[in-house]
Structure 1
Amino acid sequence: MLSLGRLRAGGKGVQAFRSGGHIQSRQFFLTSLATLFGPIIFSENNRLADKMESGQLHYKDPNSVFNQGSNEDNRYFKRKEPNYPGHVPLYNFEKLLMILGSSAGAYFHPERNEFIVGLGESTAITPVLRSLQHQMLSDPTGRKILKERPRITSTSLDLDYLRSLPENTIGNSYIKWLDREGVSPDTRVPVKYIDDEELAYVYQRYRECHDFYHAITGLPIIIEGEIAVKVLEFMNIGIPMSGLGALFAPLRLKKSQKERLYNIYYPWAFKSGLNSKPLINVYWENILTKDINEFRKEMGIEKPPDLRNLRKEYFEKLKRAKKI
């Protein structure tokens, strides 16, 4: 006869056998399912992956209405198609908002270039640009500029070559001014908010020639020098932003700065701007070896008093007054 202990042990063995049998049966069942349906599932996944890779699989993006101006589902706001690479077409209300925002930004933070850029392009109205375009088309050099569309960059000008030019040449004066002021021609950003392609280039040309106006006048990029050059530009070229700068920028200046502007540099800028030949028609890249004094004489531009020397004399005078 079997003892009670062996019966109990045998019972546990039977239960373990039965449990193990269930596990084996379940594993066999799952393995069979995987064998039957696995290829179908993986085949479908591979098919979807192939379609996704080839760009054939698409889904409805709920944000596409807002992210794509050309989306047909956007009934309320559709961005116009760009007219040239980099162009950002704006509606009139957007231009108005840009004028207001950039005007406030330029007034309180004139050192921030994005406000100056936004204000310049948003106020560059079509009639003014058309007038400049006509002025260029009426001049042989202006027509050549519009035809060839040169760009003023550190690569196109070869700055090392400019440093090798004689001291009184336009090219050498230009590179010396850049080095002294610590600026580069590459800082002039591309135009993108002006709709007409050729008018956009006209404004781009004006923007990139700005440093040459500084170089031939010797005016630095400190606030007084910038305002004086803006007045010169407005009287000669007529860009609205230059006039706005001349009108409102001095309001934040000190008394001594206003006196220098109103008594010296505004009269100079009015006279030189009105008497000078159109600066927009100067092909600077082709006259870099020209004597700068001869150029001023031919154009009808007088060289203004040295602004840095005037400021230096003023501060020295203040120091002497404090010692007394």
Structure 2
Amino acid sequence: MSLLYKNLLIQTVFCSICPAGVCVHRLRCSSSSSVESSSISYDGLYPGHIQTTPVQKALLAVGSGVAALQNPYRHDMVAVLGETTGHLALTALRDRMRDDPEGYAVLTERPRIRLSTLDLTKMAALPDGSFGREYLRFLEENNVTPDSRADVRFVDDEELAYVMQRYREVHDLLHTLLGMPTNMLGEVAVKWFEAAQTGLPMCALGAALGPLRLNASRLQTLLTSLGPWALRSGRQARCVLSVFYERRWEQNTEELREELPELQPWGL
């Protein structure tokens, strides 16, 4: 990965928060990146990896953090923020996975939850109530796809990069198990669960800022009952990254929840 391309990426992050909307750096980024993108070859620790110095990581963290504060729907900036600030939390999560037999198998086999790895036809034929069928129903009803999860780029450890990728790809599975919708209240509740479960600074930021976007009645629900439940469940639950969900598609969802009692839907 060339130094020019790294600098262009950092400039792009800062250009994304520029109030002027158009600047010399943005024009340079768009023109230069289009020229070089066709000849980029990755020589990092994993496909797509971009090696960065501590200073570059700090710049990316600041820029992406400001962008995420301005617009929480900038998922690309949220992803960069998570990757550049999450080393300690990712290390702790990796260690928890290593200490769990099923989690160790996940780390060893590195399954991915993508459209290319899911047999949607088989999942659609599973009986109602099975975990795979309920997950597919969640995707269909909310018009979401597992391919929307960005690939990790800025984590300078191949195993920790997979842990971050796993965190992203099980997010919709948590929605399914917790019975949380994808509206703002549901997303904030899952983010509170994830913040308590993972310790990722990105999750803590989302948990802190998400309530600001709720109306008064939903904020009261979050603060008085839903939020405390999510925090308690996240703290007490087994590491959700350690579950080999790909081997559980045919399992009854309620049976899986009995194995993971902290992932019972709110109110049950």
TM range (shorter): 0.7 to 0.9
Residue from 92, 105, 111 that aligns with 2:73 = 111
* Structure 1 residue 194 displacement after superposition: 0.2
Residue from 120, 124, 137 that aligns with 1:163 = 124
* Structure 1 residue 254 displacement after superposition: 2.5
Task: Return the alpha-carbon distance in structure 2 between the equivalents of residues 231 and 210 of structure 1.
Answer: 12
Task: Return the alpha-carbon distance in structure 1 between the equivalents of residues 48 and 90 of structure 2.
Answer: 19
1:180-212, CA deviations, whole angstroms, 9 ceiling, x for partnerless residues?
Answer: 111101111210100011111111111111110
1:290 lines up with 2:251 in the alignment: yes
Residue of structure 1 in register with 2:237 after alignment? 276
Structure 2 vs 1, CA of residues 197 and 259 (structure 1 numbering), >3 Å: closer, same or farther? same
State the one-letter code of the partner of 2:84: S
1:304 lines up with 2:255 in the alignment: no
Residue of structure 2 in register with 1:193 after alignment? 154
State the one-letter code of the partner of 1:262: L
**3-state SS of the aligned residue for 2:72?**
coil
* Structure 1 residue 92 displacement after superposition: 2.0
1:130 lines up with 2:91 in the alignment: yes
Task: Return the alpha-carbon distance in structure 2 between the equivalents of residues 135 and 264 of structure 1.
Answer: 28
Structure 1: segments with no counterpart, 5+ residues: 1-64, 70-79, 307-324
**3-state SS of the aligned residue for 1:157?**
coil
| Greater Rg over alpha carbons, structure | 1
Residue of structure 1 in register with 2:4 after alignment? 67
Q: Which runs of 4+ in 1 moved over 4 A?
A: none
Residue of structure 2 in register with 1:202 after alignment? 163
Task: Return the alpha-carbon distance in structure 2 between the equivalents of residues 103 and 258 of structure 1.
Answer: 24
1:177 and 1:218 in contact (8 A); partners too = no
* Structure 1 residue 128 displacement after superposition: 1.7
Task: Return the alpha-carbon distance in structure 2 between the equivalents of residues 192 and 267 of structure 1.
Answer: 33
1:236 and 1:276 in contact (8 A); partners too = yes
State the one-letter code of the partner of 2:80: G
Q: TM-score under structure 2 normalisation?
A: 0.80
Residue of structure 2 in register with 1:101 after alignment? 63
1:237 and 1:280 in contact (8 A); partners too = no
Identity %: 37
Structure 2: segments with no counterpart, 5+ residues: 7-41
RMSD between aligned residues: 2.1
Q: More deviation in 258-267 or 143-152? A: 258-267
Task: Return the alpha-carbon distance in structure 1 between the equivalents of residues 176 and 58 of structure 2.
Answer: 33
Task: Return the alpha-carbon distance in structure 2 between the equivalents of residues 91 and 134 of structure 1.
Answer: 25
Task: Return the alpha-carbon distance in structure 1 between the equivalents of residues 43 and 255 of structure 2.
Answer: 47
State the one-letter code of the partner of 1:67: L
Residue of structure 2 in register with 1:254 after alignment? 215
Task: Return the alpha-carbon distance in structure 1 between the equivalents of residues 82 and 65 of structure 2.
Answer: 9
State the one-letter code of the partner of 2:59: L
* Structure 1 residue 237 displacement after superposition: 2.4
Task: Return the alpha-carbon distance in structure 1 between the equivalents of residues 267 and 118 of structure 2.
Answer: 28
Structure 2 vs 1, CA of residues 81 and 130 (structure 1 numbering), >3 Å: closer, same or farther? same
Task: Return the alpha-carbon distance in structure 2 between the equivalents of residues 163 and 123 of structure 1.
Answer: 38
1:32-83, CA deviations, whole angstroms, 9 ceiling, x for partnerless residues?
Answer: xxxxxxxxxxxxxxxxxxxxxxxxxxxxxxxxx96378xxxxxxxxxx9622
Task: Return the alpha-carbon distance in structure 2 between the equivalents of residues 133 and 284 of structure 1.
Answer: 17
Task: Return the alpha-carbon distance in structure 2 between the equivalents of residues 122 and 284 of structure 1.
Answer: 27
Residue of structure 2 in register with 1:242 after alignment? 203
Question: How many residues align structurally?
Answer: 231
**3-state SS of the aligned residue for 1:135?**
helix
